[in-house]
Amino acid sequence: MSDPNQKPDLEESINVTETHGRIARQIAAAARENKLGENGNHPIAPWFIFILVLVGLAAGAVLNNSGKLFAYDHTFREGYVRAPEPGGGDDKLPPVPLVKALSAKGSKIYSAKCNGCHGADARGDGANYPSLSGSTWVTGHTERFAMIILNGLHGPTSTGKVYSAAGMPAQGGGMTPEDLAGILTFLRNDKGNSVGDVVTPEMAKAAMDISAKRAKAGQQTDADELKAEHDKDLPGEKADANTLVDPATLLPAAAK
């Protein structure tokens, strides 16, 4: 009660001093604010306007590059994706020996078409599917091997054993000469076989022609037919297995 501010003001219903004190405290922070100034009209410096013009010029240069405005049918700007430099040639894959290039193709076809029965190691299962590893029909004459792949096989195999009554279905559907050359080359040089030669796409093409002219076209071949008609190599020029070729086109390429 010693504080004079706490004494009631008997003349009025509120304590004027206290109220005034409270208001004063509340506005203390606001009171030290400056008034927001009037708007200035300082002139704009010429060098600053010059900078703005430069910005406008840069934007104009980019816009000039945008082709025809609102041309919705022009989708690509020529040269935005840079073409390889002329003579650079580094975008081509490095050349590999022909046997490797063909085997790479054959390996893919093997895993798609042959893996299921003959197994990843090509050794069959000994009961239903014969081994391709060391088989004389695989490593022997190329025309015989090509006929088996293109037309399938029933009856006895190279060892004389009959694996199943249905035999092997034809695999030639959808194959290109390159594919056939690939699978033939791959199996003759991989999975335990190492003949060392290649079957070129031209030879494979000849195999397809021969297959189309068979007397029993469309049916599986068998041991008798193979022995009578196809016990020979495919016609065509033999190629050196180590010729360097482009892996995509299989055309001869110079070494780097």
Contact residues for another protein, defined by CB under 8 A: 21, 23-44, 48, 51-52, 55-56, 58-63, 65-77, 80-82, 88, 90-91
Q: Report d(CA 105, CA 183) in Å as an integer.
A: 7
Q: H or E stretch including 24?
A: helix 16-26
| Minimum distance from residue 18 beta carbon to another protein (Å) | 12
Shorter beta-carbon distance to another protein: residue 42 or 213: 42
Q: How far is the CB of 203 from another protein (least distance, A)?
A: 36
Least spacing, CB of residue 246 vs another protein, in Å: 17
The set of long-range contacts for 155-163, using a CB threshold of 8 Å and a minimum separation of 24, is 155/222, 155/223, 155/224, 156/222, 156/223, 157/130, 157/223, 158/130, 159/130, 159/135, 161/130, 163/124, 163/127, 163/128, 163/129, 163/130
Nearer to another protein by Cβ, of 35 and 256: the residue is: 35
| Choice between 60 and 116, CB closer to another protein | 60
Q: How far apart are CA 147 and CA 173, in angstroms?
A: 13
Determine the Cα angle at 45 with ends 43 and 46, to 5°: 120
**Shortest approach of another protein to residue 81 CB, angstroms?**
7
Quote the least distance from Cβ 85 to another protein, whole Å. Answer: 9
CB nearer to another protein: pick between 56 and 235: 56
Closer CB to another protein, 16 or 58, in the complex: 58
